[in-house]
Amino acid sequence: MIRVLIVEDSVTQREIFRRLLENDPELTVVAEARDGREAITQTAAYQPDVVLMDIHMPDMDGITATAEIMRICPTPIVVASATLKKRDVDLAMKAYEAGAVSVIEKPEGAVLLHLQTIGPKLRRELIAAAVARVRENKTRTPAKKPYPRAIAPQRISAIGLVASTGGPPVLLEILSALPAPFPIPILLVQHISHGFEDGFARWLSNTSGHQVKVAEYGQLLGPGVWVAPGGRHLSLRNPTRMQLVPGDPGEIHCPSGDALFYSLAEILGPRAAGVLLTGMGGDGAAGLLALKQAGGLTIIQDEESSLIWGMPKTAQQLGAASLELPPEGIAEILAKLSMV
């Protein structure tokens, strides 16, 4: 049973969250807090498996509370954003910097009429977060060791990056370590709640030093980091243009890492590289194998640095990885690719 602490100043909103979770056989609400200070106290007292955290609260906001919890008693935290307005989305992105595992849009009062639709989304986020290997919120010291000289035999035309739970901080670490401007187009699939894509791209652009934008259909494949929009698979139409393909009803992941890697394998083959980062499940693993079989360079994040070693582990088990590296090692290899 996954034990959840709800942190929310609104009585109505706490009731909504409680109603969403109370009938789930895998989730139970162990305590509730009305503000950030109570959240810190309750986290220490109850030691929940995951905290569902509001942002706007009196006395202490959710961002400050998240940072304090990660400093005092590291616990997986899912932050709920009140709206998808720019200000709230930008605050939600700051939650990643504070140590949050993921962000979701907060369900409003009318959601009580649609519990069966909204509930599974919240459930997936909480279950994924609960298995995350969170650490104290401080800069990880990179291992001082040389990384393999895995330089492709010819120039790489595109790099695919795929991440899920725990991905944003790792992506920031990798991109920040790359030379700017970076000449190779980077196509990015990040599993994130629908509606946060623009804010995520804006945050990553402002903090990494690279141009990061949401991809558009038919766009030329040029330098920059191109983020897959929600509800569309990011892929290549041909060697010079991107395309966005609608997902099928019932697909768990749209955008999907598999769709991106399969496309890179088919269109570019040995002129593509694929990187599969932290995340729960197996999205991207089969596609990464296809890319490797097509002659592309394939890299997975190592277990030690992964918040959730699910997607990389699946790829490893399939034999899809050419290299297994921490974020700084991945950045070093990608930087070398730009010099070929």
Kindly list the catalytic residues.
164, 191, 283
Rounded (5°) CA angle 101-104-105:
160
The answer to whether the beta carbons of residues 177 and 335 sit under 8 Å apart is yes
Helix (H, G, I), strand (E, B) or coil at 278: coil
Residue 283 is which amino acid?
Answer: D
Decide: residue 266, CB within 10 A, 0-12 exposed, 13-18 middle, 19+ buried.
Answer: middle
Q: Burial level of 117, CB count in 10 A (0-12/13-18/19+)?
A: exposed
> CA separation (Å) from 46 to 29, 127, 173, 235?
11, 18, 32, 45
Amino acid at position 156, single letter: I
- How far, in Å, CA of 324 to CA of 327, rounded? 10
Let me know: does 306 contact 166? Beta carbons within 8 Å: yes
